[in-house]
Chains A and B, each alone.
Chain A
C-alpha cells in the first residue's frame, strides 16, 4: 500500500488562543517522496538560531520537536546529531543551505528555525525543506509568551505531520488522569508528552474515572465523599465544577457522547449496576440494559450509534457492544475470562481493552467486525485502562508494578511503550483528549 505524502502551503490558518501563527509564503510545492505504509520520512533538525533575549533554549526546542516527530510514527531522525550540527555550522558559514550535504546524511526533510525573544514575547519560526527538490515546503512563525514555547513547538510538529502526511497529529493534545500524590486521589491533566502536569480537582476526597467532553476543556469524573458517589463536571482552565448526577449507589464510568450532549454511565439506582444514557446535565436518565448481571465501563463509538461496555452475564467479565439506544448485546471477546475497560477507537472499529493473560493484565484490541484480537503489550506489570488518542494510532494506559502505577503511551504500529510519568505517587485511569 503506497501512501502519498503531500504538502502544500496554507496561507491562512486558524489562530489558537495562545499562539498567533503567521505563514511565510512560499510557492506551492509537493514533497517528492512516496512511502509505503509504515515506512518513515527521515528528518534532520539542526539547532534553531537564537535572536534576541529569550529563556527558550534551542536545545530544549529541538528535544521537544524530535520527541514529537519521532513519536508521531511518521518520521525517523537522522541518527548522527554531530553530523547534523556540523552541516548546520557549514550552512551558517556559507550563508546558504547546502541541500546535497543534508541529503548525504540520509535526510529527506530538513527543519530549520529561529527563536526570537523580546521582553514580553517569544516567537519560533520553522521552515521545512524537501531535500530532494532543494525547496521549502512550508514555513510559519509561532508567537506567544515565553512560557508557551512548548505549545509552540507542539504546534510546529502537528503542522509538519499535517502538511506531510495529511493526518492530524496529537502533539497538542492532553491526557487527564488520577493521581494520589497529595495523599487523596485527585484529577490532573498534562500535555501528551507528560509535561505541564497540573491538578484540576481539589475535592480532598476520592476523585476517579476522568473522561473528556469534546473540545478538551471540560472533564466528567466520579467523586466519592461522605459515603456517596456523584459525577461532577469540571472546567480544566477555570476549575469551575458542577454536579451532574448523585443517584443512590454507583455513579461511575461516565463517558460523554462524541458531540458532548449526553453521557453514558453505570448507575445502580434500580438495585443492580446497569448502563444508563442521560443528558449531559444528568437529567432524563434512560436505562439501556436489563438483567441481573453487572454492566460497567460504557464508551461510545465515534459516530455515537453504538456503545461498548463490560458485562459479566456469561459468568465472567467480557466486552460487548449494543446500540446506543439499548437492545441486544453483541459479545466482542471470547478469549480469556477477564476482559474489561473497553475504549472505542475514534478511527474505525477497533476497541482497546484490558485482558487478563497468564495472570497479568495486558492491553489488546479487538476488531468489532472480525472479532480478531491483537495483543499490544507483554511482560510483567499490570496494564490497565487504555484510552485512544484522536488519531486512532496512539493509546495511553497505566502500568502497575511493585505497588507503583505510571502512565505509558504506545503507538499501536510501533509497540514501543513510552513512559510519561515518574516520581512519587501513582498515576492511573488516563483519558486522552481530542
Chain B
C-alpha cells in the first residue's frame, strides 16, 4: 500500500519535454545559452550525432519525493557490479510491477561509495545501473523502458565514512518515470 500512497504524492516536475530522435546531426541542435541564467530548463534532449541510440531516456521524470522511490534500492559488493542473490527478489518485484504498469518507465541510478577514485567510480556506477537494467531486460522488461544514469560517488545516501554508510551507498536506485 505504501507505494500507491507515495505515487499519489508524485509531482511531475518536467513536462512538455520533446524527445528528438533523428535528424540531430547538425550544429543547430546545440543549445547556446548564457551562463548567467541558471534557471534555463532544457526544452529538448537533442541527441547530437547521427546515430540513434539503442535505448531512449525516459522523457518526463516523476519525482515521487526527492530521494525516495517506490522500490527498494539494491546493494553491491565493493568494486563490483554483480547482481547479488539477495536482491533478485527486488528486481523481480520491479519487473512484475512494470508488467502491470505498461506506460511507466524507470530511470536506474548507479551509485558508489567514496573509496574508489572519482572517475573510476563514475564508470562503476554506470555499470551497476547497466547490470540492473540487463537483469530486468532478462526478466522481460522492454529495454526502451529502462534508462541509466551514474552518479558515481557524487550523491551518497549516507555521507559518513563507515562500513555501514559505504554499504548503503553502493546501490542502484530506481526512479519511476511517466
Chain A interface residues (CB < 8 Å from chain B): 185, 200-204, 206, 208-209, 224, 226-229, 234, 238-250, 252-253, 266, 268-273, 278, 281-285, 294-297, 310, 317, 338, 340-341, 354, 361, 384-385, 403, 428-429
Contacts and interface: CB of A to CB of B under 8 A. Distances in A.
B49 A285 contact: yes
Given A224-B149, A241-B35, A242-B30, A208 B126 contact: no
B127 interface: yes
A341 B118 CA distance: 9
A248 B61 CA distance: 14
A180 to B, nearest CB: 10
Interface residues of B, number: 49
B97 interface: no
Contacts of B14: 226
A1 B43 CA distance: 62
B114 to A, nearest CB: 9
Given A247-B47, A248-B55, A248-B57, A240 B34 contact: yes
A268 B148 contact: yes
Nearest to B161: A403
B122 A252 contact: yes
Given A244-B48, A250-B123, A250-B150, A227 B109 contact: yes
* Closest 7 pairs between A and B when the two form their complex, measured CB to CB: A239-B35, A282-B48, A296-B123, A340-B117, A202-B38, A340-B120, A250-B126
B40 to A, nearest CB: 9
Nearest to A287: B51
Contacts of A208: 118, 122, 154
Contacts of A241: 32-35
Nearest to B49: A285
Given A227-B109, A341-B119, A294 B127 contact: yes
Interface in B21-80: 25, 27, 30-36, 38, 42, 45-51, 53-58, 61
Given A226-B14, A240-B33, A252-B123, 15 more contacts: A224-B154, A226-B61, A227-B58, A227-B147, A243-B48, A248-B53, A248-B147, A249-B126, A250-B122, A250-B123, A273-B123, A282-B30, A285-B49, A384-B117, A385-B117
Nearest to A222: B122
Contact of B150 (A202, A229, A285, A361): A229
A266 B123 contact: yes
A234 B47 CA distance: 19
A94 B6 CA distance: 86
B175 interface: yes
B120 A224 contact: no
Contacts of B175: 227
Contacts of B112: none
B135 interface: no
A294 B110 CA distance: 14
A284 B129 CA distance: 26
A247 B53 contact: yes
Given A224-B154, A247-B47, A253 B53 contact: no
Given A250-B123, A281-B30, A271 B117 contact: no
A337 to B, nearest CB: 9
Interface string B156-178: 00000100000000000001000
Given A240-B35, A248-B147, A282-B30, A269 B53 contact: yes
